[in-house]
């Protein structure tokens, strides 16, 4: 179940997808306080991508996308100087309702952003997913990925969020990845990803 109140960590070009893991290095003092807050709030944390090319007057309200991923901190490593390394497991997607606080870090009221999933045995979904796996494998082979990574791609069928997982792996335009995060229908998410991968393959 999605939280109703959560700390938000705004980051450039970073999107947390359900079923994925995100390692983060925490060094700013305000975000050290944020991690302390999360420790007292079920270790829940949201990651919101910053909006590029915003005007200064909109900075406090529209500088992040209002639909973003949230997750649980599943690993913490506290360093002697106060910094820390954490690993965040993506649990779902929420939508910003309103801010409760902006200082020293953002805390907001949020609501669940519902996204559908399909039967993995559904024929048209399997066809699109098979093509996505093939296109993804071609891209990462071209980039020199190691064999264990290739094996992981072959096992995507067994993942609970295969489209989100592949989207999180490939570093392409943030707005396109955000579009996939915000698309509620899983088949449409798959089709968007397939179209992106086809264009990437054409460039190689």
DSSP 30-82: HHHHHHHHHHTTTTEEEEEEBPSS--GGGHHHHSB-SEEEEEEEEEEEE-TTS
Answer whether residue 97 is part of any domain: yes
Residues 64 and 104 in one domain: yes
Distance, in Å, from the CA atom of 149 to the CA atom of 87, rounded to the nearest integer, reads 19
Residues 94 and 141 in one domain: no
Distance, in Å, from the CA atom of 63 to the CA atom of 11, rounded to the nearest integer, reads 10
Which range marks the domain in which residue 188 is found?
123-203
pLDDT in tens, 64-76: 999 999 999 999 9
Distance, in Å, from the CA atom of 110 to the CA atom of 97, rounded to the nearest integer, reads 5
Answer whether residue 117 is part of any domain: no
Binned at pLDDT 50, 70 and 90, residue 55 comes out as: low
pLDDT for res 110: 98
Q: What is the pTM of this model?
A: 0.90
Residues 42 and 92 in one domain: yes
Q: How many domains does the chain have?
A: 2
pLDDT in tens, 88-100: 999 999 999 999 9
Residues 38 and 88 in one domain: yes
CA-based end-to-end distance of the chain: 41
pLDDT in tens, 130-151: 999 999 999 888 888 788 888 8
pLDDT at 83 over 60: yes
Binned at pLDDT 50, 70 and 90, residue 174 comes out as: very high
We report the CATH number of the domain holding residue 98 as 2.30.130.40
């Amino acid at each position: 179940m999605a939280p109703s109140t959560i700390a938000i960590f705004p980051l450039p070009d970073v999107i947390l997808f359900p079923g994925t893991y995100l390692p983060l290095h925490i060094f700013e003092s305000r975000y050290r306080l944020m991690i302390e807050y999360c420790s007292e709030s079920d270790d829940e944390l949201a990651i919101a991508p910053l909006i590029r090319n915003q005007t200064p007057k909109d900075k406090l309200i529209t500088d992040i996308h209002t639909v973003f991923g949230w997750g649980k901190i599943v690993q913490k490593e506290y360093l002697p100087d106060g910094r820390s390394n954490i690993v965040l497991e993506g649990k779902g997607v929420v939508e910003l309702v309103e801010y409760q606080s902006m200082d020293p870090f953002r805390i907001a009221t949020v609501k669940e952003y519902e996204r559908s999933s399909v039967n993995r045995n559904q024929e048209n979904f399997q066809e699109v997913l098979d093509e996505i796996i093939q296109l993804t494998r071609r891209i990462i082979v071209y980039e020199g990925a190691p064999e264990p990574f290739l094996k992981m791609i072959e096992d995507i069928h067994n993942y609970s969020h295969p489209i989100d997982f592949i989207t999180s792996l490939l570093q392409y335009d943030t707005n396109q990845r955000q579009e996939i995060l915000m698309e509620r229908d899983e088949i449409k998410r798959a089709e968007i990803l397939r179209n992106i991968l086809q264009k990437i393959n054409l460039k190689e």
